[in-house]
Structure 1
């Protein structure tokens, strides 16, 4: 899954504004980590090309008088160079949080509390920078910087009453190096079932077992086998959360398939074990590395 970098940058700034002396370092470090994400690096290199941060700070220090906080930052006239200089400055402050306190006291003095300077820095410098920085990146075309989360090795198994199918799939996943997440094996902690599903939804893949556990039909029709209702609910949840490419449905026997799911590929969970190769292919397509020697055993 991917994260909107600009949204996360705003969150880091909000955290910085609300921080105290014991907590300001974390959002500051998070901020520069977000600003240095790979998608933004080409633009950062262009913005900071030829800039000398140390010279900028030295020139800025010359502007002060005898009063605390009277110094002013000597910004370049060019707006893009000013954005680049701010980027370098944030990086320096994040690398040395103790210097950040001294710097803010010198250039953003805002009362007797030490943390006030950090808050002033966030409001007067970082918030306008984030706005201008985003506008600059977006002005360069269709750019949507994202952070890619590392692919979780956890695989959620959605199942009905067929314990044998559940255990067979779980053991197969474990043999190929993945962690099978089975809901009833997780602590309840006073939560409802759907709350537990959501709490354990930080997985990289979901396997949904469509087994003929219930019977149902259209009003007036003849009852036929179908999956349990919770299985269908969780099937839709994981398709929405992970995307269809990270959900594999294994169908056992002859049963009714939800009409909204028609056209989506499902794999037959046959007794011969061909389903293992089919599931392995889906896992590989979703980004997992699989040892095919283990699959074929």
Structure 2
């Protein structure tokens, strides 16, 4: 967790960041990992030095940054230009960092700020390279083929969905099949989730529940509902799809994501493939109807 905090005019900083991003017109944005890879060869091949330099330049308003999802306390916004004060720690302990996934967090005005899917303009990163440096070709970052599969107690359904994803050339992350490596369960979950670019939530009627005094309804397990909310916050609604089996109750507070009826037949496969295609997940589309 971030350990620092300070008080700033956040509204002004957000407004300045938005104006800076919009004034440049159309920009090509690259991932945080790509930015480090591009800058590293010019800093004695040090990834640490590249990360520090990017944080310093962003804090000094010399480069711009945006987040696919920006969470301030309980408020969630998508596609937000990050204020320069977000980078105040200049790469030190007060800024929690995960450069491979572009996830960062810090505290501003006594409130936690979390940024997911952070991007930088290619031209801004290139401007940090000395003019006499040898050119380095920056390859576009490959989209992750890892899909986090959240499931309940229905082993047959879990195996069917996992097989479908594998047949499309995707790599389903099933938490209990991953090595523990000495990690506590929550740490393991968060670290494995960092590698995923899309989440499939398999909601099967494993439990029952309802309002006190009313009839109970089939529900997904509590951990499944929790992880549904986690991935909506982490990846954004467009990168989450829920498969609902039979008459399982649909959570009322998670609108905006794709709810797909799962059962006999193959329609759920085409619907799920459509959602992943919309989220720009690379997969073998020719295998959808045969997987």
Q: Which of the five TM-score ranges fits, normalised by the shorter chain? A: 0.5 to 0.7
Which residues in structure 2 correspond to 1:277-296 (within 5 Å)?
277-296=270-289
Determine the C-alpha separation between the residues in 2 that align with 1:8 and 1:29.
9
The reply to whether residue 196 of structure 1 matches residue 165 of structure 2 is no
Measured at CA, do residues 223 and 285 of structure 1 come closer, stay the same or move farther in structure 2, by a change above 3 Å?
same
Aligned to 2:169: 177
Q: Deviations over 1:191-236 (max 9, x none)?
A: 2322211111111211000110001111122221100000011111
The CA deviation at 1:8 is 6.6
The CA deviation at 1:242 is 1.1
Q: Deviations over 1:255-277 (max 9, x none)?
A: 22222114533000120121010
Match among 157, 160, 163 for residue 165 of structure 1 = 157
The reply to whether residue 214 of structure 1 matches residue 207 of structure 2 is yes
How many residue pairs were aligned? 193
Match among 117, 123, 126 for residue 41 of structure 1 = 123
Give me the CA root mean square deviation.
3.9
Question: Which one has the largest radius of gyration?
Answer: 1
Match among 243, 247, 259 for residue 240 of structure 2 = 247
Scaled by the length of structure 1, what TM-score is found?
Answer: 0.55
Measured at CA, do residues 25 and 290 of structure 1 come closer, stay the same or move farther in structure 2, by a change above 3 Å?
closer
Determine the C-alpha separation between the residues in 2 that align with 1:262 and 1:42.
36
Q: Is the 8 A contact 2:245 2:261 kept in 1?
A: yes
The CA deviation at 1:177 is 0.4
Determine the C-alpha separation between the residues in 2 that align with 1:242 and 1:38.
18
Aligned to 1:88: 131
Secondary structure of 2:46's match?
A: helix
Determine the C-alpha separation between the residues in 2 that align with 1:188 and 1:159.
18
Scaled by the length of structure 2, what TM-score is found?
Answer: 0.56
Gap regions ≥5 residues in structure 1 = 17-23, 48-83, 96-146
Match among 231, 237, 241 for residue 238 of structure 1 = 231
Compare the two structures and name the one with the higher helix fraction. 1
The CA deviation at 1:3 is 4.7
Measured at CA, do residues 261 and 162 of structure 1 come closer, stay the same or move farther in structure 2, by a change above 3 Å?
same
Determine the C-alpha separation between the residues in 2 that align with 1:2 and 1:194.
30
The CA deviation at 1:290 is 3.3
Match among 39, 43, 46 for residue 26 of structure 1 = 46
Gap regions ≥5 residues in structure 2 = 1-28, 58-62, 64-118
Compare the two structures and name the one with the higher strand fraction. 2
